[in-house]
Amino acid sequence: MNATGVFKAVAAAALGCALLSCCASTTPPPKSDTAAASAAATNEVVWYLKGAERQAETYDQRREIRRALEDLASLPAAELRRKRYADASMQPGQWSLATLLQKYFVPADLHSIDEQRLYDDAQRPEARTVVRAQIQAIDENRQATP
């Protein structure tokens, strides 16, 4: 094999190694039992609303958000699942509570709401504390801070 052939073979081998390393699985290792237990213990309401940025354009939207938060802080899970709220154009009965929260709040730790856990976790004191802080922020025309 001449020098050009050797060079081509080495270049092809190097390219193959580079492709293998780039395409290798980047799946993270499985969570330890402690990490999984910690994630399961996280309150969905707290995780989503603590430090979340509220984004509403009108007084009516803020009023609907406040109404939904009041429900979140006071109603049992079964009733929360049935409740419906006005959408952004104030068409009544269009959004679930989880949808309303996702439309109007940007959480500090971006993730999607687990709707089942949201309603169940709403009954816990730490959730109600965070919800009350968001309600107070609406009343004071400011953002809630962590």
Three-state SS letters, 106-119: ECCCCCCCCHHHHH
How confident is the model at residue 41, as a pLDDT? 55
> Are 54 and 143 contacting, i.e. CB atoms less than 8 angstroms apart?
yes
Cα-only R_g, the chain: 24
How confident is the model at residue 45, as a pLDDT? 97
The ranges of the chain with pLDDT < 70 are 1-41, 146
Q: Would residue 68 count as lying in a domain?
A: yes
How confident is the model at residue 145, as a pLDDT? 77
How confident is the model at residue 31, as a pLDDT? 42
Distance CA 19, CA 34 (A): 35
Percent of the chain scored above 70 by pLDDT?
71
Q: Would residue 131 count as lying in a domain?
A: yes
Q: Would residue 93 count as lying in a domain?
A: yes
Q: Would residue 13 count as lying in a domain?
A: no
Q: Would residue 134 count as lying in a domain?
A: yes
Q: Would residue 2 count as lying in a domain?
A: no
| Other Cβ atoms within 10 Å of 126 Cβ, number | 12
Whole-number Cα distances in Å, 117 to 14, 27, 64, 124: 49, 26, 22, 11
Distance CA 85, CA 61 (A): 10
Q: Would residue 73 count as lying in a domain?
A: yes
Number of folded domains in the chain?
Answer: 1
How confident is the model at residue 109, as a pLDDT? 87
How confident is the model at residue 69, as a pLDDT? 98
Q: Would residue 15 count as lying in a domain?
A: no
**Strand 53-54 to 105-106 pairing:** antiparallel
Residue 124 tokens read as 């816990």
The whole domain housing 106 covers 43-146
> Are 122 and 45 contacting, i.e. CB atoms less than 8 angstroms apart?
yes
Report pTM.
0.71
How confident is the model at residue 128, as a pLDDT? 96
